[in-house]
Each structure stands twice: as structure tokens, then as C-alpha cells.
Structure 1
Amino acid sequence: SPFAIRTLVFVIVGIGAFVVLACLTPRFFAKYGGRVSELEAKYILFALFSMLLAGSVGSDHILVRRLRTVTFGLLTPFYFIRAGSFVSVPALVAAPMAFVLLFFAKMLSKMSGLFPAVRAYNYVGREGWYYTLMMSTGLTFGTISALFGLNHGIISQAQYSYLVATVIGSAVVPTIIANAFFMPSHLLAEPETPFVEVVEAVADGAT
């Protein structure tokens, strides 16, 4: 995110909040301390609990990873909805060949660079094509760069529509092809034997 007036306002407000809290905390304790409600004790416990929770949460890497997943899962759709709202469908309908040319240009350029690298790591055959197609996808960075260009007047809305449609197509089409035709089945986990079959096998062995 670029440094803008909002960033400056956030920094100023944050510094002001720290200064105000440092000045108000002693007065808060002097005015409300010693009462039955024990507000100053609750205030301190709140701060200590926050620090303790931050340490325990930060040390649990699995929990941190789950929190990241939940955060991205909740916030990412809103970004892509906003980015997709700027796409002009009439522009795509008016010049569909622009989308087709951009799509194949992106796919050929990415696959031509990825396929030799995949083979260099001894991934050949179906497995090599699977990794090549899956790594040829690109959604987040392409959408961010296109939206940046639109917001700063570098590209028009029609150009933005072609780029975003290309980015989405290059993410969806290779994934479908890879999973449908080049899935390395030997890397998949074997299905678990149903419990009923296990019981029947044990019973047959006992008899």
C-alpha cells in the first residue's frame, strides 16, 4: 500500500493514542482505584492477559497458520469482488480476440519457462505436466497489478477488463486441465477401508 494521507493520519492518531493513554492511566487509577469494582486491577489484568495471549498464540505455529487461513478466507473474497466489479463485460464482448490472444500469450510464456525447470527436478510425464500447469496459474499478483494500473490511470477500463479476464482464465483453465488429465494418481492417498469390510474380513478369518 502506498504512503498516502491516510497512512500519515494513522501514524499521528497512533502516536496520540499512546501519549493520551500514558497520561490518563495514572489519573484513572487515582480516581477509580480502591473501589469495590477494582477497575484498576481489571485494567492491569486486561493488559497482562493480552501480552500473555500474544506470546502463547505466537508460539503455536499451527494456530497462527490457521488464523492466517481464516483471515485470508474471510478478506480475500471482498478484494476479488471489488476487483471484479470494475470489469466491463461489453468491452469483452466487443473484442473477444484480445482476451484470447492475451490468454495464450500468458500461458505459452509461463509454460515455456516452467516446463524446463520442472524437468530439471526430474518431474517428467504426467507428473511434470501437472506441476507445469498448476504453477502456470496466477491470480492474486495479476489482479493487484491490473487494479493498480487502473487506479493510477495507466490503463483504461477496457484494458483492465481484458487483463483481469486473462488472469482469471489463466488460473481456472490450467487447473481444470491438470486435475482432469494429468493428476499424478500415485501420489494420492489410498482410500481407507470401510469399517464394515474390516469386520467382515476379520469374521471370515475367524471362521
Structure 2
Amino acid sequence: MRVDSTFISLILWALIFLAGLLSVELGLSVAIIEISLGVIGGNFLGLQPTPWIAYLAGFGGILLTFLAGAEVDTQVLKSKFKESFFIGGISFAAPFLGAMFYAYYVLGWSWPASKIAGIALSTTSLAVVYAVLVETGLTHTELGKIIMAATFVTDLGTAVALSLLFLEFNWFTLVFLAASALFIFIIPRIYPWICSRYGERVIEPEIKFLFLILVAFMYLAKLGASHAILPAFVLGLALSDQFMKNRKLQQRLRVVAFAIITPFFFINGGMNISLKLLLLNGGLLLQMLLVKQVTKIAGVYPLARKYLPRGAMYTTLLMSTGLTMGTISSVFGLTGGFINQVQ
């Protein structure tokens, strides 16, 4: 039976509203609650990702990544580059190598499937990290900025590994890279004029312009068999000084994102989790989870304790999250025939 899209929308907005209430009452990150409610909706309420949900979820992930880049203090990034690079680098390398070799030598997976496992489990979700840091008020602290910069390094490693090992380049890949570089170079130079000429209006042209550019990244990335996460983050980074000067604009963009768009990203992530498959393959799930967490903690914690002694464990736990790039890598492996549905 075909379910009416308006009814699906009604259920989703009810879950989004409930997630907000539970987040306030329980003192937990709304991202975690939205993912949990997405699991409930997908497994018990019959909700399934539709094209419009998938589109909003994809855009929500890109928007979160852009916002995360915009929160990074470039001065802190320059002064703390070594800390961010080493923490982010080991956060990628340790679980990538650990999961890949475990899947190949212990689980007996094929070499391509093992590489997909390593890539998928190497990730740290920039979107989840950013959402948690915003809710805890840490985005303006040095700790929060270093964590976001380190997370970007991790996801950069994941994206590069996936591209080099599996993705097929075409002429549109070059177009995507060239257009992304051009946008990142030009937009920080014209955006202040757009804000001064068209800003402070209820129709928010300056926000709509950013949405246009992010959707352009998504479109070009699709043509180029790539992903818009990296240019979105770098564009946010390039505009971070502008947002630091205009906190009201940053706050309005956050409100639009967290109220309307990003909940679909987290709920859609939960809807893609099959409890039936997890229960049937609980042993495999537990093994892969332990491999990821053990390698992440073993790699990140010593460096975090050295560079961020007051927030070492908090940094380590946040760096152990995964969603966006992990999902992208897994779906790519499945559609490309490198892994099966259980894997």
C-alpha cells in the first residue's frame, strides 16, 4: 500500500518535535535523539527513506559541514595546526588500518570488502561533532575549534582514501574540482557585499545565496562521482572571518539549519539502520564496533592527552563518532558490489 507523503511528513515532524523536547528534558544532544527516533520510525512505524527525505538529509549533512567549517577560528587553526593534524591523522589511520586488516585476516572478507570496512570505520562525523559542540557551547572555545579542525583532517583522510582506492574519475571530476576552487576563492570576496547590500531582511537573501552554492557543490559532485563535504567545509572555513564579524547572521543560519533541515539528516541516518539485521548479526556488529573504538581510543587518546589534557577523553569520544562519510562509504561499497547488505 502506498503511504501518502503528507502522512510521512506528519510523522517525521512529530518525531522532530519530540526529539527537541527530549533533548531539553534529558540534557542529551538532539542529534543522538533524532538518530534514535529515526531507528524507531524505520523499524516500528514503517517509515522508509523517500527521495525528498534523502535529498533533505543529504543537504542537511552538507549544511552541517559548512557550518562546522565556519566555526573554525583560522587563527587557532594556524597556531594549533600540529595538534589538529596529528590528532585528526591518527584518528583516520588507526581505525582504517585496524578494521581493514581485521576484516581481511580475522573475518575472512575479500580485500576490496576489507578496504571498504577500513574506510567506513575510519570516519569521524563532522556533522555530529559540530551539533554536539553547538549544544554544549564549546564551538567558541579553543578545545571545540581544535576538535572540529581535527575532525576535518580525519574526514579528509577518509575521502581521499575512498577516492584513490575506489572512485572512478571522469571529466566532470575536474570540473567539480575547478568549480569548487573557484567558488572558494571568489565567494569570500563578494559575500560581504551581498550581506551589506541585501542583508538584514526577513527574506534572508544572504542565506539563500549560501544554500544555492551548497546545492551547486552537491550537483557538481554528483556529476564528478565525488562528494561535496570537503569543499563545503573549506568554504565555511574561508567565510569564518565573515561570520565572526556578523554573529547575528551566523545565529540566523543556525536557527534555519537546526529547526528545519538538519533533523532530516539525523533521522534519515537512523531510518537506514535495520534492527533485524543487527540482531541477526550481533556478533559481527560487536566485533567491528570494538575494532573501531579500540583503535580510535588507542590512537587518539595519547595525543589528546598530550595536546588537550583537560579534554582528552571528551575529544577521544567525540572523535569516535561516525555517520556521514561512513554511510557514504558503506553505500558505495554496497552499490559497487564490494560488500553485501549484511557487511
What is the TM-score normalised by the length of structure 1?
A: 0.49
The structure whose RCO (Cα within 8 Å, separation 6+) is larger is 2
Q: Which has the larger radius of gyration?
A: 1
Q: TM-score, normalised by structure 2?
A: 0.32
